[in-house]
């Protein structure tokens, strides 16, 4: 199945979906949103984030499904209008540039694809994910990532609806510079609510806050556009999969970690689970005992920083990283010691 994924999924159509406004969501004025340092850090071509959901085929069939989804997506974009904008480059003539997000309302590109030979069981029937097949359920952006990252007429958000034999896969790809996973899911959930005719439930959610919170949205100049990009990283081929840990298993890991350390502070369930995964990865890779190993965590800042309002649309994340750990220490000093390094 993986080898033939490119031939299995066929793009039927593509369209630009523009925001739809109404009495409760009036059209906003055209504006530039100046990206924060956190946003700019994610402007690299490698920083695209994706969300995908696998659904059963509707009982009434898929006739008109894409048109209905396009209409509800337009209403969701009316609420999250900056996702319909474009990144731009402003050259100040002094060797510096800024990269604003221009809320132009130009829209999001929506693809319609079919995969008549693919069933739901082909995707979820194994712990291992058929990666090349699942990747084909997301918008085909090969060759445009660099253009997207440096600012152009291309969208910052794409969506694809793929009809399977007995199901539907809806995938979205977003330029990470315009938002993090939390606001990405907020958009996705708004799309779902409008599609189900339950847009009124959004009135109970925090209203989107599009203005950035750092330094009153002062433009951040870059000495060169390339300075926004980190070094190019070639990732080795990997196999992907989903693992489920039962509540009882997590409870045992937490108890084991705390028993080993016997501290006044408590090691959390999350710390114990991450430490367990970290040790398993070090063991599977057979790293030399003296080789340094690092665990990197993405930490959400919402709820931790008072200056970030509810409904904030942008990147509100920080990176946590362990330091000074060797593979030998992670394996030899036990689960509790490894979990405690995540506090440092």
Q: Which of 228, 263, 280 is the last residue of a domain?
A: 228
Residues 60 and 206 in one domain: yes
Percent share of the chain, pLDDT over 90: 51
CB 162 within 8 A of CB 113: yes
What is the DSSP code (8-state) at residue 208? P
Residues 97 and 197 in one domain: yes
The beta strand positions in the chain, using DSSP E, are: 10-17, 32-34, 48-56, 86-87, 90-91, 97-98, 100-102, 108-115, 128-129, 157-164, 167-175, 240-241, 296-300, 317-321
Residues 105 and 205 in one domain: yes
Residues 133 and 259 in one domain: no
Residues 144 and 79 in one domain: yes
235, part of any domain: no
Residues 147 and 9 in one domain: yes
43, part of any domain: yes
CB 22 within 8 A of CB 203: no
pLDDT at 1: 45
Average pLDDT over residues 297-307: 86
Tens of pLDDT, residue by residue over 234-280, are: 667 777 888 889 999 999 999 999 999 988 788 999 999 999 999 99
pLDDT(306) > 90: no
Q: Is 12 helix (H, G, I), strand (E, B) or coil?
A: strand
Distance CA 91, CA 271 (A): 45
327, part of any domain: yes
User: In angstroms, what CA-CA distances link 150 with 44, 225, 264, 289?
Assistant: 8, 7, 49, 41
171, part of any domain: yes
Q: What is the DSSP string of 29-62?
A: PP-EEEPPHHHHHT-STT-EEEEEEEEEPPTT-S
84, part of any domain: yes
Q: Is 255 helix (H, G, I), strand (E, B) or coil?
A: helix
Residues 296 and 153 in one domain: no
Residue 166 is encoded by which pair of tokens? 């007995």
Confidence of residue 152 (pLDDT cuts 50, 70, 90): low
CB 107 within 8 A of CB 37: no
Residues 273 and 156 in one domain: no
What CATH number does the domain containing 72 carry?
3.30.559.10
Q: Which of 180, 197, 228 is the last residue of a domain?
A: 228
What is the DSSP code (8-state) at residue 197? T
Distance CA 74, CA 97 (A): 32
Q: Give me the number of domains the chain comprises.
A: 2
- Enclosing domain of residue 264: 243-343
Q: Which of 228, 253, 279 is the last residue of a domain?
A: 228
Residues 197 and 141 in one domain: yes
pLDDT at 217: 47
Residues 60 and 205 in one domain: yes
Q: Is 209 helix (H, G, I), strand (E, B) or coil?
A: strand
- The model carries a pTM of 0.84
pLDDT at 151: 53
Q: Mean pLDDT in the chain?
A: 85
Residues 62 and 182 in one domain: yes
């Amino acid at each position: 199945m993986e080898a033939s994924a490119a031939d299995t999924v066929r793009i039927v159509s593509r369209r630009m979906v523009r925001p739809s406004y109404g009495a409760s969501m009036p059209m906003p004025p055209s504006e530039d949103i100046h990206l924060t340092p956190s946003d700019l850090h994610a402007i690299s071509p490698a920083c695209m984030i994706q969300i995908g959901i696998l659904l059963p085929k509707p009982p009434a069939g898929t006739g008109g499904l894409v048109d209905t989804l396009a209409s509800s997506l337009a209403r969701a974009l009316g609420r999250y209008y900056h996702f319909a904008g474009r990144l731009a480059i402003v050259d100040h003539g002094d060797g510096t540039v800024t990269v604003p997000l221009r809320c132009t309302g130009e829209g999001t590109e929506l693809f319609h694809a079919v995969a008549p030979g693919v069933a739901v069981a082909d995707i979820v029937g194994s712990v291992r994910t058929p990666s090349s097949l699942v990747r084909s359920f997301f918008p085909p952006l090969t060759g445009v990532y660099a253009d997207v990252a440096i600012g152009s007429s291309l969208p910052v958000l794409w969506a694809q609806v793929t009809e399977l034999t007995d199901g539907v896969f809806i995938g979205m790809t977003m330029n990470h510079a315009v938002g993090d996973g939390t606001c990405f899911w907020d958009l996705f959930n708004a799309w779902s609510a409008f599609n189900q005719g339950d847009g009124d439930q959004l009135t109970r959610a925090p209203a989107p806050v599009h203005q950035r919170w750092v330094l009153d949205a002062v433009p951040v100049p870059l000495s060169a556009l390339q300075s926004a990009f980190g070094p190019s990283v070639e990732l080795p081929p990997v196999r992907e999969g989903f693992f489920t840990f039962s509540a009882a298993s997590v409870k045992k890991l937490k108890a084991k970690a705390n028993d080993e350390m016997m501290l006044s502070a408590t090691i959390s369930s999350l710390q114990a689970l991450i430490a367990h995964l970290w040790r398993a990865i070090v063991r599977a890779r057979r790293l030399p005992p003296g080789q340094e190993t690092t665990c990197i965590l993405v930490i959400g800042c919402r709820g931790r920083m008072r200056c970030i309002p509810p409904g904030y649309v942008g990147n509100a994340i920080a990176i946590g990283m362990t330091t000074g750990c060797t593979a030998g220490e992670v394996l030899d000093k036990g689960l509790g010691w490894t979990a405690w390094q995540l506090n440092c």
